[in-house]
Amino acid sequence: MQELDRIWSMLRERNTVVPSIESLFDSDPQRGPRHTRQLGELRIDFSRHPLDDQSWSLLLQLAESRDLTQGIERLLAGDKVNISEGRAALHTALRSPSIAGRTGVSADIEAARARMYDFARALRSGTWQGATGESITDVVNIGIGGSDLGPRLVVQAMSGGDGPRLHFLSNIDGAAVHQITQSLNPATTLFCITSKSFGTRETLTNARTAAAWLGESLGLEQSQLAAHFVAVSANVQRAAEFGIAPDRVLPMWDWVGGRYSLWSAVGFPIAVALGPDRFDQLLQGAELVDVHFGSTELTDNIPVLMGLLGIWHRNVAGIPGYCVVPYDERLTRLPNYLQQLDMESLGKSVDVSGQPLAQPSGTLCWGGTGTDGQHAFFQWLHQGTDPMPVEFIAARTPDHPHQEHHRQLLANLFGQATALMQGRSLEQTRAKLLDDGKSPQQAELLAPHSTFPGNRPSTIIMLERLTASALGSLLALYEHRVFVQSWVWNLNAYDQWGVELGKTLANRVEDQMQGDRSQPTEPSLTHWLDYVESGA
């Protein structure tokens, strides 16, 4: 403990020593390449952060004194790192045959994947027919959180899927199911009900509404609609009780966390949209990062470096968030996906033994695509009072013929990263305004408004090209970074008890809204329930 305290206090001291990020480049022109790493199809530039070699070395000491290497070994060996639920977190086994072999889950994974691929092939080839004998043209995934965000992100990112059209229904809001069903032909639509627990209210309500819509539209009994449903669940029993034939249920397991599950049968919509070969490529991209994570020294271990950088910003610089900005329209959903991965995993206040955490943990993860964000929230990033690290993500090679667009896109990314780092001082701004023809008085007045503090950190992650394997690598990188932070903070990244209370209360309020006032209504809610009721 004393050793840890010593490292933390030296880290905090370091934070006061480095004058600016730019000064680090001044003293080392090779800083850019020196702090840029290549991992498969990803290139990651850590140079635009206010860390000199000593700061990095202290962060690595922190990792060593937390015995991070042992932590990584335990994760990848299938130890029950999810302490509060007594489970392993074996999402890596889903993409790494050697981990699956070592942990004894190969047979389960292979059997489930073979069935998933059979289903996907039947749908893609048109041999899967609905109740009226027509081929399925549209597949709707009904699921929420980890049963939605991953497949939705990948399907959108890999646009140009050549299978049936994919749709995603997650929100309980009836507007969502209404909108989707209005655009579909029931005879050629298949619903995939994805829920690890098969107990999530949103998903079950949407699934029931979808089933009723199918039955009414086709004039068929529910028992005649089996060909229009598939389920993905760790609870086959509940799926069967819901009415899905067991041979239409693709299994997953309690050793896969929802937000880590796109590699399992939860990825069924991906396999349908892209085909088994590209699903395999996604897995291979992730496996490459798993192998790197499990076999590389901490000093060169990229998820470790990313995690430690996050620790620096959270605990040393005291910044409680980071902003993810993909300069790629296909990755619009990435910030949402990372939000669940990071915030549901790390938004905890107690350590693995239930004691208050020694350090603040968990960070706000937010963002949006560039260049759109430049015309919205970038003002805050550049001139707001709070610094916020930005993670820029882009593909080096585009998949469209519009080279000029791509050049401008990347120029914007680099320009923004540089502007955040360099800023513009009051004197520089004043001189520029005079150069632009402003009078000395005008320049004096305008200069403070056009000044940029600079010294704002950012990371650039560039993919060779947005392929399935590069995307797999990118997502695995973020997963492991979350693990690194959880280990240093000594918290459990694989439970999510914080979502329970609101769910329980929503159920109680719903009963009250249906007229069961046997439970006393919350005084703070009574007037709202009366108001809603009066409009019903």
Using CB under 6 A as the binding rule, whether residue 454 contacts ligand F6P is answered as: no
**CB 264 to ligand F6P: min, Å:** 11
The span of 73-81, 195-203, 370-378, 526-534 binding ligand F6P (CB under 6 A) equals 195-203
**CB 259 to ligand F6P: min, Å:** 6
Q: Are 92 and 132 in contact (CB under 8 A)?
A: no
Containing H/E element for 57?
A: helix 53-65
Cα separation of 46 and 457, whole Å? Answer: 9
Is 344 one of the catalytic residues?
yes
Cα separation of 28 and 45, whole Å? Answer: 15
Using CB under 6 A as the binding rule, whether residue 196 contacts ligand F6P is answered as: yes
Site size toward ligand F6P (CB under 6 A) is 14
Q: Are 343 and 485 in contact (CB under 8 A)?
A: no
Is 292 one of the catalytic residues?
no
Q: Are 237 and 203 in contact (CB under 8 A)?
A: no
The residue from 375, 400, 404, 500 that is catalytic is 375
Cα separation of 536 and 532, whole Å? Answer: 6
Is 85 one of the catalytic residues?
no
**CB 327 to ligand F6P: min, Å:** 28
Single residue of 47, 92, 200, 490 touching ligand F6P by CB under 6 A: 200
Using CB under 6 A as the binding rule, whether residue 197 contacts ligand F6P is answered as: yes
Using CB under 6 A as the binding rule, whether residue 359 contacts ligand F6P is answered as: no
Cα separation of 117 and 271, whole Å? Answer: 7
Site string for ligand F6P, 202-231 (x = CB under 6 A): -x----------------------------
165-169/138-142 β-pairing: parallel
Query: What residues contact 185, with CB distance under 8 A and at least 6 apart?
Result: 137, 138
**CB 191 to ligand F6P: min, Å:** 15
Tell me which DSSP letter residue 423 carries. -
Query: What residues contact 306, with CB distance under 8 A and at least 6 apart?
Result: 44, 46, 459, 477, 478, 481, 484
Which residue, 364 or 431, has its beta carbon nearer to ligand F6P? 364
Q: How many CB atoms lie within 10 A of CB 88?
A: 23
**CB 475 to ligand F6P: min, Å:** 15
User: To 10 degrees, what angle do helices 106-125 and 276-295 make?
Assistant: 150
Using CB under 6 A as the binding rule, whether residue 250 contacts ligand F6P is answered as: no
The residue from 41, 202, 287, 344 that is catalytic is 344
User: To 10 degrees, what angle do helices 500-513 and 201-218 make?
Assistant: 50
Using CB under 6 A as the binding rule, whether residue 170 contacts ligand F6P is answered as: no
Using CB under 6 A as the binding rule, whether residue 146 contacts ligand F6P is answered as: yes
**Positions that interact with ligand F6P (CB under 6 A):** 144-147, 195-197, 200, 203, 258-259, 344, 496, 499
Catalytic residue numbers, as ranges: 344, 375, 503
